[in-house]
Amino acid sequence: MSETLMEKKSKKILVVNGILHGHFTGSVEIVRELASMGHDVTCYVMDEFAARLDDVPVKKVVYSADVSEIAKRLPPTAPPFAINSFMFGKAIDVLITLLLKDKTDYDYYVFDSFFDIEEMNKVLNIDPSKFVKICTSFILTDENLLDIMKGRLMGLQETNKKYNINLHDFVGLHVTPNKFKKLILTSKFFHLRPEDTDDTCYFIGPHIEKRVVDNSFDFKKDENKKLLYISLGTVFGKDLAFYHHCIEAFKDSEEYQVIVSVGKFVNIKQYFTEIPKNFSIYNYVPQTQLLPEVDVFITHAGFNSTSEGLANGVPMVLVPQKYDQFDVSRTVKRLNAGIFLNKNEIEITPDVLRNAVKEAYDNRENFKKGINEIMDSFKEARNNRKAIYEKVFE
């Protein structure tokens, strides 16, 4: 390929990475792929994640959205996403300031879907046709997202006043119809109501992190027992009653060895005074390292966790907590790849958990067909990535 043609095809692309863990993770691979195609990529990245771009040949603009002092003042009853709203409020303020100062003539601006680019653009005045969104989950929902919207809006108010804009609820924003091109990190096959998506939707398959061995993880598998892994993810991990139901269901089991990840906000010594001998409880578990050993996975049905469970062929019991997790669970059930326990319809008791795990394990061969069909669709979508990038960034 001639240098002139390469220069013609190369684009200047600004990527505003996500500021939540799962959203950032989904964007890194896209950044890497765009750079490998010869595009001139700049990333606006929060300081917490900047090091994860060290091995990617892109320009980095690192910024801070530290709200730790605000977090200390929030009441214990604050909804899980309240602190995130303050992070978004702070991040959007900083990003607007940076973008107004950045005189680079970018061909495209790629934003995580949680950023309200329509409202931000009232200040930025960028050609809307240059915007592309990265969507880490379904762009449709069957859920009511308004139940705690007030808590998710509180942290946006200061930025709204400063710029005289009206930033919308970032969770609801993800599933609000819009005209922007969307890079969706799943396949059309594995999407809620795929028939309702339109020609602005480009399905590029999920990012599934490679297995990285963490030698500090002191887990040893009991070869005489099935391994049950339980995790509610990072945002909703502090459901202590649920964990104690799990302990009641499987304590001292001769059949199951149980690994529980409770997230970084749970004090294990304080809340788990008696841990059964077949249980190990951690604040953090290297999930991609553990899943190949797992026989049944009880998960909150977060998009990344579900994709990782499917990639490892693990029978899953999905216990969604909020938002798209219910839609993900419905889709897994519809495609015959796991068990869905809807806490809005049934009480999640120890007996319910015990029976669901047994059902998932006993049906593991039946679920393989559904899991394999989903994984085939992921592979096909990922194989189309380069062609999609060429079309989106033409």
* pLDDT tens-place string over residues 64-81: 999 888 878 887 777 667
Please tell me the distance from the alpha carbon of residue 155 to that of residue 262, in angstroms, as a whole number. 26
Residue 211 lies in a domain: no
Last residue of a domain, one of 153, 184, 215: 184
Residue 358 lies in a domain: yes
180 and 233 fall within a common domain? no
- The answer to whether 227 and 257 are in contact (CB under 8 A) is yes
240 and 176 fall within a common domain? no
Residue 250 lies in a domain: yes
pLDDT tier, 264 (very low <50, low <70, confident <90, very high otherwise): confident
pLDDT tier, 149 (very low <50, low <70, confident <90, very high otherwise): low
The answer on pLDDT for 25 being more than 90 is: no
Q: What integer is the mean pLDDT of 117-129?
A: 97
236 and 154 fall within a common domain? no
- DSSP per residue over 363-384, as a string? THHHHHHHHHHHHHHHHHHHHT
17 and 143 fall within a common domain? yes
The enclosing domain of 176 has a CATH number of 3.40.50.2000
Sign of CA dihedral 316, 22, 205, 134: positive
Residue 269 lies in a domain: yes
Q: What integer is the mean pLDDT of 4-28?
A: 83
The answer on pLDDT for 2 being more than 50 is: no
pLDDT of 22 reads 83
235 and 341 fall within a common domain? yes
172 and 238 fall within a common domain? no
176 and 255 fall within a common domain? no
Sign of CA dihedral 290, 296, 298, 300: positive
pLDDT of 171 reads 86
Residue 218 lies in a domain: no
Residue 372 lies in a domain: yes
Residue 149 lies in a domain: yes
Please tell me the distance from the alpha carbon of residue 251 to that of residue 248, in angstroms, as a whole number. 6
249 and 369 fall within a common domain? yes
Three-state secondary structure call for residue 120? helix
Q: Which residues of 290-314 are buried (b: 16+ CB within 10 A; e: fewer)?
A: bbeebbbbbbbbbbbbbbbbbbbbb
pLDDT of 237 reads 72
pLDDT of 70 reads 86
Last residue of a domain, one of 184, 212, 235: 184
* pLDDT tens-place string over residues 284-295: 999 999 999 999
87 and 234 fall within a common domain? no
The answer on pLDDT for 4 being more than 60 is: no
When divided into structural domains, the chain yields a total of: 2
Residue 43 lies in a domain: yes
Domain that holds residue 74: 3-184
176 and 289 fall within a common domain? no
* pLDDT tens-place string over residues 178-233: 999 999 999 999 999 999 999 999 999 998 877 667 888 888 899 999 999 999 98
278 and 171 fall within a common domain? no
Three-state secondary structure call for residue 168? coil
Please tell me the distance from the alpha carbon of residue 89 to that of residue 86, in angstroms, as a whole number. 5
